[in-house]
A and B are shown apart, each in its own frame.
Chain A
Amino acid sequence: MKEVWLVLQEQFKYAPVMVRLANYEKKARYQNHALGNLWLFLNPFMQVATYWIVFGLGFNSSSNVTGIPYMPWLIVGLATWLFINTSFMDTTWSISANIWQIARMKFPMSIMPMMRTLMNFNAFLYMLVIGVVMSVFYGLPVTFYWLQVFYYMFAAFAFLYAFGIFNATITVLIRDYQQIMQTVMRFVFWVSGALFSVSDRFGHGHERFVRLLEMNPFYYLVDGMRNSFFGHQWFWENTYPTIAFWLFVIIILFIGSHLHLKFRSYFADLV
């Protein structure tokens, strides 16, 4: 328990430093680009546009909820997926790429994964707002279920925090981890339900298999975010997936923070 407590304490104690750094890095990232910070928005926007052209127009996909138009359904889910996926991959190199710069500074390395996550948060919010505005224009009702968006955002941050520390530490210890994860995430993309509903693809008779595929934290977050805007269910009514999700976060947090604390004094030797 101690190790989890320690990294959490570091996280809260150095949260102001982390926020300032994230804000600054965000500005610095597109500093030399003619379009500057517009890229923060353009990148995800172009991605959604591409997927919409291919799957919305080309393959004529539809949402998994009857009566919900594909476009807002796609944007809300895809925005969530892009945020989680980008942050997830960014956390893997968050420590190893900057070790020489950050090891001597006055903040603990454990805040670096969260800092990377935070940098991607704005783009996510922009996308989400577009999706929501679109759904309102389509005439979809505004409900109390929308409030769940805060729960799912919190869940996404908790998941990325726990997995971020784990990812960043393992990447230092085993370089190949980053490559492996890149491949894994390409697969996870198709079971995250970001583009189309997983259950639709399999049809009847495969319910158990579909439920197994849907038991991944990425699907939980993507689907949950959609449920907030288009569904009629509270997150606690989705009992088993919710319990499994949080248990998974706890397990990863334990392992990640333990390995991180055990090896972090040696990161510079290992990179």
Chain B
Amino acid sequence: MPDEKKLKVSAKYITKTFDLGKTKSEKIRAILNPLSKGPQKFWALKGINFDVYEGDVVGIVGVNGSGKSTLLNILSGLLLPASGELTINGETSMLTIGAGLRGNLTGRENIRLKSLMMGRTNKEIDEQMDEIVEFSDLGDFIDQPVKDYSSGMKSKLGFSIAVHQDPDILIIDEALSVGDQTFSQKALAKMNEFKAQGKTIFFVSHSMRQVRDFTDKTIWIQYGEMRAMGPTEEIVKDYEKWNSWFKGLGNKEKSDYQKQQKAKQVSFNEQELAKRISNDERLSAEDKQRLSTHLAVGDYLPVTSWVVLAAATVGFLFTIYQYVMWG
């Protein structure tokens, strides 16, 4: 029964806007008041909804610039959504191409650095080192600087580090698309192991074969919108159908279509978002209200802090006066 499974990630009407303003002060203003008027905004995500349970391996597909990476960056905690609600039960680990490795350090040193950043102790790392090195299949290259690695080798190393951090939720952004067949098999086996342990995996790839092989559910994102979510077979078939329709268009039609979609992402606004939310019958009136307002930025400085700050400043100035004038 799916009801018995534990909810791992729940996204409710997640939006992300990138403002098209150029200066930094415009950006800061947009952050302080994200749904306000002001410089034009681009809605990279226009309200994404999904629930993912433990043991789910979820593929995310969509054309370039559809918002896949933005969604993953939000899931991994790098970016904050502009509105909506995201609940994550567990720790996430994200793997990207290049995998945030440092070029001047060797493979082995990168393993240590990343593990330290994940909060491991040196002793724990020593114990795990051989296993990670072994899994990465890099052989003698493990002691070479990472800048000499091929992209496939980098992705092997990144994947090996990420899976050995034992995350609850693993997020893989295209990182396996450059690996060879042998390593893909190994990665697949590891991912199945994770699945059996009740971990959750998000998997982004442009290779439909890999998505079919690796995942059992798929989310299709198109121009900031969630087109569909369901069993991988079904969604991938629909997506491929759409893709071959799109390929069949003439060059002018193609670019017109893209322009039209992008224009929709600029003209989208909070009223449209609110309308959409209000049509959702599963939500209470209170939830609707909450989800259609943007997330407040941090707290204002509380009164007590103002008082302390003011007192400290006065004291500071007085002390300087005393010392400078009378020694």
Contacts and interface: CB of A to CB of B under 8 A. Distances in A.
A101 B31 contact: no
A1 B301 CA distance: 9
B42 to A, nearest CB: 13
A168 to B, nearest CB: 16
A2 interface: yes
Contacts of B305: 1-4, 254, 258
Given A2-B302, A266-B80, A21 B117 contact: yes
A17 interface: yes
- Of the listed residues B93, B102, B301, B325, the one surrounded by the most CB atoms of chain A closer than 10 A to its CB is B301
B91 interface: yes
A265 interface: yes
A1 B73 contact: no
Q: How large is the interface on B (under 10, 10 to 19, 20 to 34, 35 or more residues)?
A: 35 or more
B84 to A, nearest CB: 14
B113 to A, nearest CB: 6
A20 B323 contact: no
Give the most central of B73, B79, B118, B316: most A CB within 10 Å: B316
B312 A247 contact: yes
Interface in A213-244: 215, 240-241, 243-244
Interface string B293-327: 00001110110110011001101100110111101
Contacts of B230: none
A198 interface: no
A32 interface: yes
Contacts of B76: 104
A201 interface: no
A39 interface: no
Nearest to A268: B78
B40 interface: no
Nearest to A25: B113
Contact of B316 (A104, A248, A268): A248
B22 to A, nearest CB: 13
B117 A207 contact: no
A262 B31 CA distance: 10
A208 B309 contact: no
A175 B324 contact: no
Contact of A247 (B93, B112, B118, B315): B315
Nearest to B125: A20
A106 interface: yes
Interface string A257-271: 010011101101110
A268 B73 contact: yes
Nearest to B309: A254
Contacts of B299: 2-3, 261-262
B31 A263 contact: yes
B122 interface: yes
B77 A104 contact: yes
B119 interface: yes
A70 B24 CA distance: 48
B77 A247 contact: no
Contacts of B118: 105-106
B122 A32 contact: no
B31 A269 contact: yes
A206 to B, nearest CB: 12
A47 interface: no
Contacts of A207: 327
B316 A247 contact: yes
B153 interface: no
Contacts of B297: 262-263, 265-266
A107 B117 contact: yes
15 contacts: A3-B301, A4-B305, A20-B122, A101-B117, A104-B78, A211-B324, A215-B323, A241-B323, A243-B315, A243-B319, A248-B316, A254-B308, A262-B297, A268-B78, A269-B18
Interface of B: 18, 24, 27-28, 31, 73, 76-80, 91-94, 100, 102, 104-105, 109, 112-113, 116-119, 121-122, 297-299, 301-302, 304-305, 308-309, 312-313, 315-316, 319-320, 322-325, 327
Leading 9 A-B pairs by shortest Cβ distance: A262-B298, A240-B323, A247-B316, A265-B80, A244-B319, A105-B117, A103-B78, A106-B119, A212-B324
Given A104-B76, A208-B325, 19 more contacts: A1-B302, A1-B308, A17-B119, A24-B112, A28-B109, A28-B113, A103-B78, A104-B78, A106-B117, A208-B324, A240-B319, A240-B320, A240-B323, A244-B319, A250-B312, A262-B297, A262-B298, A265-B80, A270-B31
